[in-house]
Amino acid sequence: MITMEQDNTLRQRMLAAGFFLLLVISGGTFGFWGLSRTYLPVEQQWSLGDCAYMTAISITTVGYGEIIEVSRVPYGRLLTVLVIFAGLGVAVYFASALTAFVVEGEFQQLRKRRRMKQAMAKVSGHIIVCGIGTSGLHVVTELLASRWQVVCIDASEERIRRVHDLPGGDMVPCILGDATADEVLKEAGIERARGVIATLASDKENLFVVISARQLNPQLKIVAKGVDIGVSEKLRRAGADVVVTPAYIGGIRMVSEMVRPQVTEFLDIMLRDKDKNLRIEEVNLPQGSPLVGKLLSEARIRETTDLLIVAVRTSAGGPFLYNPGPQLRLDAGMSLIVLGGTDSVQRLRQAAGHVFDPRHPENGQEPADA
Residue 198 pLDDT > 90: yes
Counted residue by residue, the chain has a size of: 370
Cα-Cα-Cα-Cα dihedral sign, residues 4, 6, 12, 14 = negative
Residue 196 has what pLDDT?
Answer: 97
Write out pLDDT tens, residues 207-222: 999 999 999 999 999 9
Tell me how far the alpha carbon of residue 313 is from its chain's centroid. 35
Of the chain, the percentage scoring pLDDT greater than 70 comes to: 87
- Encoded amino acid at 114, one letter: R
335-341, strands of its sheet edge to edge: 278-284, 335-341, 308-313, 320-322
Question: Phi then psi for 141, rounded to 5 degrees?
Answer: -60, -45
Note the CATH architecture for domain 277-363: 2-Layer Sandwich (3.30)
pLDDT in tens, 17-71: 788 888 888 999 999 899 888 888 888 888 888 898 888 888 877 767 777 777 7
Mean pLDDT throughout 341-369? 62
Q: What are the pLDDT digits (tens) for 245-292?
A: 988 888 998 999 999 999 888 888 877 776 667 888 999 999 889 999
Phi, psi torsion values for 337, nearest 5 degrees: -95, 115
CA 69: distance to chain centroid? 60
> Other C-beta atoms within 10 Å of 183: how many?
9
Answer yes or no: is pLDDT of 106 > 70.
no
Q: What is the CATH number of domain 124-249?
A: 3.40.50.720
CATH placement of domain 4-119:
1.10.287.70
Q: Is the dihedral of CA 270, 272, 273, 274 positive or negative?
A: positive
Instruction: Return the pLDDT at 207.
Output: 95
Residue 281 and residue 348 in contact, taking contact as beta carbons nearer than 8 Å: no
Domain ranges of the chain: 4-119, 124-249, 277-363
Question: In the predicted model, what is the mean pLDDT of the chain?
Answer: 84
How far apart CA 56 and CA 160 sit, in angstroms, is 43
* Across 76-80, 112-116, 305-309, least confident range: 112-116
Task: State the Cα–Cα distance between residues 143 and 154, nearest whole angstrom.
Answer: 17
C-alpha to C-alpha distance for 159 and 161, rounded to whole angstroms:
5
Question: Are 119 and 108 contacting, i.e. CB atoms less than 8 angstroms apart?
Answer: no
Q: Is residue 348 within 8 Å of residue 290, measured between CB atoms?
A: no
The total of other beta-carbon atoms located within 10 Å of residue 277's CB is 17
Question: 75: how many CB neighbours lie within 10 A of its CB?
Answer: 13
Helices 48-60 and 4-39: crossing angle, nearest 10°? Answer: 130
- Tell me the three-class secondary structure of the chain, residue by residue: CCCHHHHHHHHHHHHHHHHHHHHHHHHHHHHHHHHHHHHCCHHHCCCHHHHHHHHHHHHHCCCCCCCCCHHHCCCHHHHHHHHHHHHHHHHHHHHHHHHHHHHHHHHHHHHHHHHHHHHHHHCCCCEEEECCCHHHHHHHHHHHHCCCCEEEEECCHHHHHHHHCCCCHHHCCEEECCCCCHHHHHHCCHHHCCEEEECCCCHHHHHHHHHHHHHHCCCCEEEEECCCHHHHHHHHHHCCCEEECHHHHHHHHHHHHHHCHHHHHHHHHHHHCCCCCEEEEEEECCCCCCCCCCEHHHHCHHHHHCCEEEEEECCCCCCEEECCCCCCECCCCCEEEEEEEHHHHHHHHHHCCCCCCCCCHHHCCCCCCC
How many whole angstroms separate alpha carbon 323 and alpha carbon 174? 40
- The β-bridge partners of 309 are 338
